[in-house]
Structure 1
Amino acid sequence: MNRHLKFGIEEEYFITDLNSRCMSGKPPGAAIDACKAVLGECFALEMFQGQIEVASPIFTSLAQATQYLGSARQELRLALASYGLGLLTAGSHPLADWRTQQATEQMHFLKLFEDYQHVAWRSLLSGLHVHVEVPGHLDRICVMNEVLPWMPLLLALSSSSPFWNGADSGFMSYRQTACDEWPRMGVPEYFEDQAAYDAYVALLIRTGAIRQASECWWGVRPATRFPTLELRMTDACPRLEDALCIASLFRLLVAWAIDQRRPGSTWSQQSRWILQENRWRAKRFGIHASFIVEGYDRPFSAEQWLFMAEQIFGDAAQAMGVEEVFPQARRILRDGTSAERQRSLYRQVVGSTGDVQAALSAVVDQLLMETEEQPCINRAVCES
């Protein structure tokens, strides 16, 4: 087991007007420059001017990721505060209105808006993306097929997008529902190996369907610029400790898959059908969904599925020194996801005041506060 398997994390953030609590449509250029100054080459623009990204350096330990991302969030928050702006991360912004947003004026993004029209304009979404290295002698698609069945559990744990365009969507991850408007998102097509994947991508490029392989945006994919497997399905997490838990789980899954004699050998069309169904359940019901586990004729709760994961991957977690990932995931199941906290606060404020706008503003304040919190991997100790 590779204890020091390299990985990286990308977090997307909404720039928020602290007066209106709305997503900023066009932040001052000086504010963006200030963010660039604190992050350097790890700063990235996003499709919308009111959204930015941190693309982390390469990590070899969870401690490195904790330190870097905790610092990055704080430095970005301080850089924006001088301009009356806040930093918020979640799968969707409760008060964002896509009709008021401005596109980032870079050719890559402008081409996306030209090609995908309202689908692109409606994509006010923030994700948690995790890259994990796969040794060059291994087939990344086979490794991907080994970890794919577990992705709905990670999505459920990350769910943080119940609100869309100022209304309760009824979903725990509306972000994933919005992603389904795009081609080549969500669950990957069925590929037996890297050769089959490469042939598919080559056909799309030859026929003009896509310009480059990076336009395959599936929830898990082989990265084009790095020798990694990339998780894209999960929502951005307001609490950094939740993001780190999910990143660590994905890294553990990849490490375990790499250690298998024939990774992905049991992946089938039926496996993919089950994955599709489980993803639907995760985005609709989050951690309260019941899930299908291949080979069993009864549904599994999220708690039961996580217990199964710990039985399978627990030894690998010990070998990698990340055994705390399972208590942390159980804490999310016990205390609730961001989506649940948002909806609970919203209903509480609406119930006491009848004011929907005040309730949405309160949810934004909650998300701003949680984005600001420093991570506590052992919350029981932090709260004692």
Structure 2
Amino acid sequence: MTQSIRSKSTIKKTIMNVAVLALMSTAVAGCNRGIKPIVNDPVKLVQIAQPISVLQPVFSVDVGNKKASKKDPLSIQVGYDNGQIVTASRGGDLMGFDKAGQRLWSVNVGDEITGGVALDAFSQTAVVSTRSGRVLAYDSMTGARRWQQQLSGSVLTPALITNNRVVLSANDGFLHGLALQSGQSIWQFATQVSAISIRGTAVPTSLDDKTALLATADGRLHAITTDSGLPQWSRRIGVGTGSSEVERMSDVDGMPIVDNDQLFAISYSGQLLGVDLASKQVMYLNDIASLRSLAVNNQQVIATSLAGKVAAYDRNSGETLWESDELAYRELTNPVMIGNYIAIGDLDGVVHLFNPATGAIVSRVQTKGALTTLQTQNNRLLTQSTTGQVAIWQLAQ
């Protein structure tokens, strides 16, 4: 079913070479003008023989992204909770929409937004972070600003809103817990800062009602109480090998997944971990490298690799069920489950729908601009491209 593609170690070395050249260019201008890293062309898409209708468009809107560039394509995620929608652009524009796509309000935060929107429909709160390290909270129904807080570093991913706390992971290695109602700093937790890492951090997630799970650039997962910031446990996931700091990068940038008392996480250095939380025992450790979050269903864990491979593993044993390289080198997003299908986006704004039983692509939908992150909720798929195009699709009945 699959074609041969370059190994994970080869792809990792290619990315490392690019990072090394970038570092060299800042130190010695012009010294690498004659050196070009190996770049693999994205594979051409093959027409689906008998496509089926999986997703129906709900609405799309251009929220603007004039500050974005190909050299700095930060992911700006849509805030979506219980029908409320809040979008953000790199230029600092926030917009609130109802579930039908009607715009309710629009404000500008006065700075570049570096992460996405964290949205809590119960408290009607939308939280964003900026390049200068400010965290701002807005009323998600009216757009009125409630509070702002200055952090020691910028935040590149959406916050976690849980248990009356706003939990954030800053790029200077500090984890923060703010009061949801006032923005007051309640706790900070310092983690080890790597000398070199991939730009970006994993979105914090809930381990349980009282505990947040945060991944850091040194390849670790930290379980921390949300009310007081007390560490519960820490575990190394990514283990980089090699003679240089670049080769030893072990970032965990994909959000860990907690599902039915099992934990799944994946690292840039090439480890996919499955843990039984009840027994606290490792179920398996597979060899695949990624900076994207995983997806899970009742039987599988699905990953997209650095090379654009899509792979499905048995969620209990880690056994490889199928692999596909039909999207090799297409700069894939994280996979998500939508109904009975796996959705994955790419650099051309195409969302591919896979049959999880066979690994075959059965449907596609198109938006504008490169996609970096997919989200699903209540049988809806949400995307925002690097060019600022927000689109929402409903699972076909």
Normalising by structure 2, we get a TM-score of: 0.29
Normalising by structure 1, we get a TM-score of: 0.29
Asked which structure has the greater RCO (Cα within 8 Å, sep 6+), the reply is 1
Greater strand share, 1 or 2?
2
